[in-house]
Amino acid sequence: MNKISINLVVLNGERYIRSCLDSILAQSHNHQEIGVVILDNGSTDQTKNIIKEYESRFQSFGSFRLIESDHNYGMWGGQEHLLEHSTGEYLVAMAVDVILDKDFISESLKVMGSDSKIGALQAKTFQFNVSESERSHSLIDTCGFEIFRSRRIVNIGHGEKDSGQFNNRKEIFGVEGAVPVLRREALESIKVLSEIADHDLFWYAEDLDIAWRLNLKGWKQVFDPAVIAWHDRQTTKRKRNGILDFYKIRREIPLHKRRLEWRNIRFTILKNDYIINILKDLGKILPREIAMTLYLLIFEPQVLAEIPTFLRLLPRMLKKRHLILSGAQLKPHEIHMWFH
C-alpha cells in the first residue's frame, strides 16, 4: 500500500503532460511510498502515447498505472473513478496543467500527518505558462476558496503579486480543485447517493461542492505555504478591477463554462447552505443575485438558457440537500463563521 497516491485525470493534455510527469518524477520524497494512477478520459491527441513513453521511468515508484477510458468522466468524476484504483491513505487530485514543486509530497505528508482532522490541504499555487521555460514565485493563482456573505466565492490571492501576505499556514473555507491533497477517509465520509463528486454537476464547481461538504462533515481544510505548485489556468490569470474589467474577463471564458458556472454554483449553495444562514445574509445575497441576473439578461442571455436544465435537476438536488444536511456535523453558526 502506498502512503500517498498521485491521481491524475487528463483529456487531450499533450501540451502539458511532459512537464506534469517530469514534476512527479522529480519528487524528493521516497518514490516507493508514492503511487501514480492516471486516467485518460478518451484523449484524441498524443497524450496516451506520451504517458506510455514515460512508463519505464516510474519503475522506482510504489506503483504506476494508466487507465484508458472511452468515456469522459470529467475531472472530479474521474478522480472518484481513480479512487477505486489507488491505495494511498492520502490522495493528490491532480490536473494535467499543474506542476509540482520537488518537495510537494514531502511537505504535504508533514501537514496531513500533523492532525488527523485535516481532511484537505491547499498548496500555495502560482501562475505559470507552459510555453515559458521559467516558473516564477511572483503571481498567485490560488491559495484556496474564500466565501462571502453574499455567497460570492473567490480564489484567495488570485492575480496578486506574492509579497509575503500568504506565508502562514491557516484554515480556509475550501481547497481549490487543481491540485488538492485529500485524506481518503474524508472523501469517503461525504458520499451522497453513493457519489463523492456530484455527477450532475460535471466539471464546474465540483471542487467547491466537495469542499463545502467536507466542512459540513467537520473536516479541517488547511492552506500551507510550504506546499507549492504551479497552475496554468485556462480561464483568466488576472484580478478583476471594476465592472468593465468584469465584463472583459467574462468574455474570455467559454460560453458553456459560463453556463455551468451559473447553474452549478447555485446548486452547490442550494444543496449545502442552511436556510437560517441564507435568511441571516439575505440582505447581501439578494442584491448580488438581482444585479447578476440583470447583467445576464442584458449582456449574456445565452447563459440563462441553462434554466430548463436547472429546473429539471432541481428535485434531485433537493433530495441531495436533505441527505447532506441531515448528516452534517457542523451547526449553522459553525459554518457561518466562514462567510466574510
The residue whose grid cell reads 501514480 is 36
Q: What is the pTM of this model?
A: 0.93
Its sign, for the CA torsion 23, 26, 31, 33, is negative
Q: Where in the chain is the domain with CATH 3.90.550.10?
A: 4-231
Instruction: Give the per-residue pLDDT at 130.
Output: 74
> Above 70 in pLDDT, residue 213?
yes
Instruction: Give the per-residue pLDDT at 242.
Output: 63
- The percentage of the chain sitting over the pLDDT mark of 70, rounded to a whole number, equals 95
Alpha-carbon span 124 to 225, nearest angstrom:
5
Give pLDDT tens digits for 110-141.
999 999 999 999 999 999 887 766 676 789 99
Residue 249 pLDDT level (bands cut at 50, 70, 90): confident
Alpha-carbon span 271 to 321, nearest angstrom:
4
Which of the following CATH numbers is that of domain 4-231: 3.40.50.2020, 3.40.50.300, 3.90.550.10, 3.40.109.10? 3.90.550.10
Distances (CA, A) of 332 to 125, 276, 280, 336: 30, 7, 11, 6
Instruction: Give the per-residue pLDDT at 71.
Output: 86
* 3-state DSSP of 172-218: CCECCCCCCEEEHHHHHHCCECCECCCCCCCCCCHHHHHHHHHHHCC
Region 69-97: what's the mean pLDDT?
Answer: 93
